[in-house]
Amino acid sequence: MSPATNVVVQSAYLVATALFVFSLHWMNDPRTARRGVRAGVAAMLLAVAATWFQPQIVHHGWIVAAVVAGIVVGVPLSRVPLTAVPQRTALSHAFGGLAAGLVGTAKYYLWLAEDPGQLTAFRMGAIVAEVLLGFITLTGSLMAAGKLQELRWIPQRPVTYPYQNVSNIGLLALAVLLGVGLIVWPTGAFAAVAFPLVVVLALAFGVLLVIPIGGADMPTVISILNSYAGLSAVAMGFVLDNKLLITAGALDGSSGLILSIIMCRAMNRSFTNVLFGAFGKVQPAAAGKDDRVYKAETIEGAAQVLEQASFVVIVPGYGMAVAQAQHRVRELYQELQKRGITVKFAIHPVAGRMPGHMNVLLAEADIPYADLVEMDEINRDMPQCDVALVIGANDVVNPAARYDKTTPIYGMPIIDADKARTVFAIKRSKNPGFAGIDNELYFQDKTFMLFGDAKAVVGELVKHLASQRNAG
C-alpha cells in the first residue's frame, strides 16, 4: 500500500471510529437517538468503503456478492414489527458471531497452508478467542431468538438436567484447554484434531448455555451475547491487524457488558445466577394458596373508576407487546388526559424481552418520552396514585419480591403498584409469569382483574370512557 493510500485509509478509519463513539453517545438520549443511528450507519459505510479501497483487495466479486447477500437478508429484518425486535437483535448478534468465527477459521487455515510462521502465539491466542466467542455467540443467539419467537421445538422455560452446570463448565474448560494447546502447538497432528474440536465445543456450549435460561432473563442474555459479539470482533481486529475493528468491537463489548450489569442490578441478581440459575422454572404452589381467587371486574366498572381518578400510572409489560396494544394504550392515555387526569408510565428496566423494549414500543405510539418514568422515580409517587393499570406485566410488580425469600425473584426491585389506591390488571390468563410463581398483587383486596387480550381490553376501556365523556 502506498503512503498516500495508507493515509486515506487510516484517516477514514479514524473518522469512522469517532462516528461510532458519537453514535453511542447520541443514542443515550431520545432527542438525539436518530442522529446516533445515522452516525453509526455512516461509520459502517465509511469503514467498509475504506477497507474495500485498499489495493490488496483484488477479488471484488466476492465482496459484491457479500453486500448483495447482506441486503437480501437485512432489508426484511429491518421491517419486522417492534414486538419482534428482541429476536431480530439476537439474530444480528448471531450474524456477528458467525462472521467472527468464520474469519478466524479462514485465517487459521490460510496461514497454516501458506505460511505457518504467521501462527505466532499472540495470533493463535487471538484466533482461539475469536473462534470461541464467535461460535458461542452464534448458537447462543440463535437459541435466544428461538425462545423469544416461541418456536415449538425450543421451550421458553428453562430446560435443566442433573449436573448441568458442572457438565457445561467442564465442556467450556475443555475448549479453553484445547485452545491453549493450539497456542503452544499451532500445527501438526494435535492441531489438526484440536481446532475442529474447539469449533464444535463452542457451538455446543452456546446451545447449552441458553437452554436453561428462561424468558424473563432474555434482556440480560441479549446484552451478554452483545458483549460476546463485541469481544469476538476485538479478537478479529487483532487477527486482521485492523485498528477500527478493535475499537468498534471494544465499544460494542463494553456497552454490552455495562448494559448486562445494569440489567442484573435491576433484578438484584448476579451474572452467574442469570447464566446458571435456571430462573423461570414453574414453582409448586404453597399449601393454602390453591384456594385463592382473583377478583374480576367489568370494563364498565373499570372505566368508571378511571373516570374518577386524578392520577393514573400505567405499568406496561410483555403482554402489551405481544398484543401490540401500544396504539390502543396511547388512545387511552389521550382519553384520560382530555379529562384532566395526570397519566404516567412506569418503566421497569427489565420489562419486555430486551433493554428499553417498553420505551421503544411506547415511543412508536407517539407517547411523550417525558411521561415514561423510570422505576426509582415513579415509586416515590405510587402512594399518591389513584389507579395503577398493569398491562401484561407480572414479575416486575410482584410484591413477593420484597418479603418472600422462597421465591426466585426475592430482592428484585419492583414497581410499587401495590401502593396505589386501586389496581387494575389486564392479563390473558391465570398462568404465572416467567419467574414461574403467582403474582401476590393479583390477590390483594385492592386489585381487580380484566382478563383478555390487552389490545381488545384497552380498546373497550377507551370506548366506554369516550362514550361517558360524550354523554356528559
Q: Please state the rounded mean pLDDT for residues 211-239.
A: 83
Residue 89: what pLDDT? 85
- Reported as a pLDDT band with limits 50, 70 and 90, residue 287 is very low
Question: Mean pLDDT in the chain?
Answer: 86
Residue 220: what pLDDT? 77
Distance (Å, whole) CA 3 – CA 8: 9
Can 290 be counted among the known catalytic residues? no
Q: Please state the rounded mean pLDDT for residues 317-341.
A: 91
Which of the given ranges, 87-91, 133-137, 163-167, has the highest pLDDT on average? 133-137
Asked whether the predicted pLDDT for residue 17 surpasses 80, the reply is: yes
Residue 471: what pLDDT? 66
Residue 189: what pLDDT? 92
Bridge-based pairing state of the strands 447-451 and 422-427: parallel
Asked whether the predicted pLDDT for residue 448 surpasses 90, the reply is: yes
Out of 1-10, 200-209, 247-256, 419-428, least confident range: 1-10
What domains appear along the chain, each with residue ranges and CATH number? 80-276 (no CATH), 299-471 (3.40.50.1220)
Out of 2-16, 302-316, 331-345, 416-430, least confident range: 2-16
Residue 388: what pLDDT? 96
Residue 148: what pLDDT? 78
Q: For a pLDDT cut of 70, what percent of the chain falls above it?
A: 90
Distance (Å, whole) CA 158 – CA 144: 12
Distance (Å, whole) CA 453 – CA 295: 17
Out of 47-51, 109-113, 221-225, 381-385, least confident range: 221-225
Q: Please state the rounded mean pLDDT for residues 105-113.
A: 94
Query: Among 217, 252, 395, 418, which one carries the catalytic annotation?
Result: 395
**Model confidence pLDDT, tens digit, residues 240-263:** 888 888 988 998 888 888 888 877
Asked whether the predicted pLDDT for residue 51 surpasses 90, the reply is: no
Out of 118-122, 348-352, 360-364, 432-436, least confident range: 432-436
- Reported as a pLDDT band with limits 50, 70 and 90, residue 432 is low
